[in-house]
Amino acid sequence: MFAMVFAAHLLAVCRVKDFWEVASNWGDNPPYLDIVRIIENGRYSGEKIWHFWGFPYAIAGISKLFSMPGIEALVLISVLGSLGVCILIHRLYGGWVAFTFFSFINYRWIYTSMEGGSEPLFMCLLFASFLAARSGRWNIAALLAALSTTVRPVGVFSLAAFALVLSMRRSYRRLIVITLTGLVVGGLYVILLWIILGSPFANFTGYREDWGPHGWPLTYPFGAIIPSLLAPHEIQWPNFVLSITWIAMASVGTVAMWLPRNRPRFLPYQPEVLFSSMYTLFFLSYGYGRVFEDLPRFLMPVAPLVLFSLRNWILKDRRVLWGAAGLSALLASATIVGFKNVFGFKLP
């Protein structure tokens, strides 16, 4: 399914536009490539910086190692990261969850993986840390989780989840080790940021403009989602439906994990449950002005566990899931090259 989805998406895009031209200008790729140039040159000319640097460091490393352009390294990391996520989801939650994840749940994942974005690398590190924690390799789990935090700062919830689990198990020596691991990785990241940009808080100050007049990332649950939904900017109905669906699924799935009758079943998934709960609550309370339309992207890391919690309601008909996967690939393509260029008619 992974191969079919990406082949169909790539074919639909390349019929209309040059792939590398699309990838170079897609989403957050331009600012990530700007950061790569800053890393490679060691010079900062004063442009606004808000994205975290874990992904650009990986791009710069792969680009240098294989002598390839930055955009090619960016796409390579995204595609391989997405494949890694597919394998890890299968290992952690089973084939039906992995099967459904690549079907109809979130077509944004497809173009984020193919045209490039930080989510595949972040989720690959995140789920690899969960797999390591499940097998008792807490030091490796903490290192992977700390590295994921340099890609997207919300990875800190995985470190918090590991700390809570070890505290409940009274494994204080391991708790100290993973805490030190997180602090060392975070300290190195901040020091490098300070050396290059002159400020260890450049990421935080860069995001503040998106957090409204108070300049703080959190509000009460749904406090920014409802105003974002009612804002005058235009939201096409597929994105509207997708956002509503994900708010409902994330809320229902998270509550289902904590129901008394389900707690014994989720005991082996304790770190993931804690992470998913904290992560979902954070984004339902996130103070970003356009949070509603971006929730399907924000909530991708909790999608596998939410699907696992709702797996008794997952459709098991392979024919339907393969058809839905093909439709998702085409919807992802339509987002890039236009609905009419893919389906032959305009979106109503």
Question: Measuring CA to CA, which residue among 137, 237, 221, 121 is closest to residue 181?
Answer: 137
What is the C-alpha separation between 344 and 122, in angstroms, rounded? Answer: 35
CB 264 within 8 A of CB 326: no
pLDDT for 286-297, tens place per residue?
888 778 888 888
The two most distant CA atoms of the chain are separated, in Å, by: 62
pLDDT score of 262? 80
pLDDT score of 233? 61
Q: Give 218's strand partners.
A: 286
Residue 97 to residues 1, 30, 243, 264: CA-CA distances in angstroms?
13, 33, 20, 20
What is the C-alpha separation between 37 and 49, in angstroms, rounded? Answer: 13
Neighbours of 84 (CB within 10 A): 17
Q: Give 286's strand partners.
A: 218
Question: Measuring CA to CA, which residue among 139, 144, 128 is closest to residue 92?
Answer: 128
- The dihedral through the CA atoms of 295, 301, 302, 307 has a sign that is positive
Q: In degrees to the nearest 10, what's the CA dihedral of 123, 143, 170, 281? A: -30
What is the CA angle 285-93-115, rounded to 5?
Answer: 65
- The dihedral through the CA atoms of 81, 210, 201, 180 has a sign that is negative
Tell me how far the alpha carbon of residue 42 is from its chain's centroid. 28
pLDDT score of 214? 66
Tokens matching residue 83: 């494949």
Question: Measuring CA to CA, which residue among 305, 158, 298, 179 is closest to residue 242?
Answer: 298
CB 288 within 8 A of CB 210: yes
Q: Tens digit of pLDDT per residue, the chain (348 long)?
A: 888 888 999 999 999 999 999 999 998 999 999 999 999 887 787 777 788 999 999 999 999 999 999 999 999 999 999 999 999 999 999 888 887 776 655 678 888 999 999 999 999 999 999 999 999 999 999 999 999 999 999 999 999 999 999 999 999 999 999 999 999 999 999 999 888 888 888 787 777 777 766 667 888 888 778 877 776 666 667 677 778 888 888 888 888 888 888 878 787 889 999 999 999 999 888 888 778 888 888 888 998 888 888 877 777 788 888 888 888 888 889 889 988 888 888 766
Domain boundaries, the chain: 212-314
Tokens matching residue 1: 């399914």
Tokens matching residue 171: 């494994």
Which residues have C-beta within 8 Å of that of residue 87, sequence separation ≥ 6?
none
